[in-house]
Amino acid sequence: MQNAISTREQARQFVEDLNENSMLFHFDDDPADILSNRSGFSEALFTEEECVYVAQRVEEMFDTIGYDDAMQLLCDVSDEHEE
């Protein structure tokens, strides 16, 4: 989460890492608003520090590959995981 995104491959890796760690979320949402139910109780998915990094990475991804491509990448990675 701490590595800046400046290429499509880095964007894909970021999304795949989120997916592999059960942290994938819709990129229109604020990471601070995302809840997890892993413990059986609703709690923040990301720590305050992680929220800063994740929001920065999402913004960098939008700047690097564009909003539409970032959203398509989100769908692609999510679909690949379900197969």
Distance between CA atoms of residues 3 and 9, nearest Å: 13
* Mean pLDDT (whole number) for 58-80: 95
Q: What is the pLDDT of residues 5-61, one digit of tens each?
A: 999 999 999 999 999 999 999 999 999 999 998 777 789 999 999 999 999 999 999
Is pLDDT at 83 greater than 80 in this prediction? Answer: no
